Amino acid sequence: MEAKSSYSFESQNILKAKEEIPDYVRLRMVSWRRGPAIVRVEKPTKIARARSLGYKDKPGFVVVRIRIKRGDLHRRNIMGGRRPRRYGYNKLTHGKSEKWIAEERVQDKYPNLNVLNSYYLAEDGKYKFFEVILVDPSHPNIKNDPHLSWTGEPANVGRVYRGLTSSGKKARGLRKKGKGSEKSRPSIRANGRLRRH
């Protein structure tokens, strides 16, 4: 029988569902709410999850925690004669996920780095917290790594803005193949379908 590593057990024990979040995580969220929205952290909070998404504990990697407001879009009230149900400002959602929005905001904060991936941390009634993994494409450790040197290619500059990260591809409907997904490629707009923002 093959022995399991400690990382295989860590994902089961830390930051579970909202009802099962330990007290120390709740205390952490108190400080997260009081601090700035975007904070660089020394180590990933969920090390097993970060490693599964490509994180390595070596120079050239940066981990950032970000706080995002929950909820739908809010549009100003329309000054005109119509029924309230025809106002068109209820239940409006973004054309992208909250995780994708978090990645874009982190990329704005660190323009010289490239977003590699991100993962969910926790949430409360007002905010969601994510951690975003970034790499420095000009760092020698990244340039010489055969699995990460692709981040320095010109085609991957600003990849998060073009929906090329994992969460971006999911929001664009590119996780599905075959029947029923014919009009998702090459993009929704290329097939005459406009996304509602």
Q: Using one digit for the tens of pLDDT, what is the confidence trace for 1-26? A: 677 777 666 656 555 544 455 666 77
Mean pLDDT of the chain: 86
The pLDDT score that the predictor gives to residue 10 is 64
The pLDDT score that the predictor gives to residue 168 is 93
* Cα–Cα dist 26/132, whole Å: 20
Q: In which order are the strands placed within the sheet that holds 114-123?
A: 38-41, 61-69, 127-135, 114-123
Residue 178 lies in a domain: no
The pLDDT score that the predictor gives to residue 195 is 58
In SS3 terms, the chain reads as CCCCCHHHHHHHHCCCCHHHCCHHHHHHHHHHHHCCCEEEECCCCCHHHHHHCCCCCCCCEEEEEEEEECCCCCCCCCCCCCCHHHCCCCCCCCCCCHHHHHHHHHHHHCCCCEEEEEEEEEECCCEEEEEEEEECCCCHHHHCCCCCHHHHCHHHCCHHHHCCCHHHHHHCCCCCCCCCCHHHCCCCHHHCCCCCC
Residue 196 lies in a domain: no
Residue 192 lies in a domain: no
Vertex 83: Cα angle to 77 and 89 (nearest 5):
35
Is the pLDDT assigned to residue 68 strictly greater than 90? Answer: yes
Inter-residue contact 130 to 64 (CB < 8 Å): no
Domain extent for 13: 6-157
Domain CATH for 34: 3.40.1120.10
Residue 168 lies in a domain: no
* Cα–Cα dist 50/85, whole Å: 44
Single pTM value for the model: 0.82
Spatial CA neighbour of 89 closest among 72, 65, 107: 72
Cis peptide before 186 (omega within 30 of 0): yes
pLDDT by residue (tens digit) across 75-111? 777 788 888 788 777 778 888 899 999 999 999 999 9
pLDDT by residue (tens digit) across 157-187? 999 999 999 999 999 999 999 998 888 888 8
* Cα–Cα dist 8/196, whole Å: 40
Residue 197 lies in a domain: no
Residue 185 lies in a domain: no
The pLDDT score that the predictor gives to residue 14 is 55
Residue 61 lies in a domain: yes
The pLDDT score that the predictor gives to residue 16 is 53
Indicate the number of domains in the chain. 1
Residue 181 lies in a domain: no
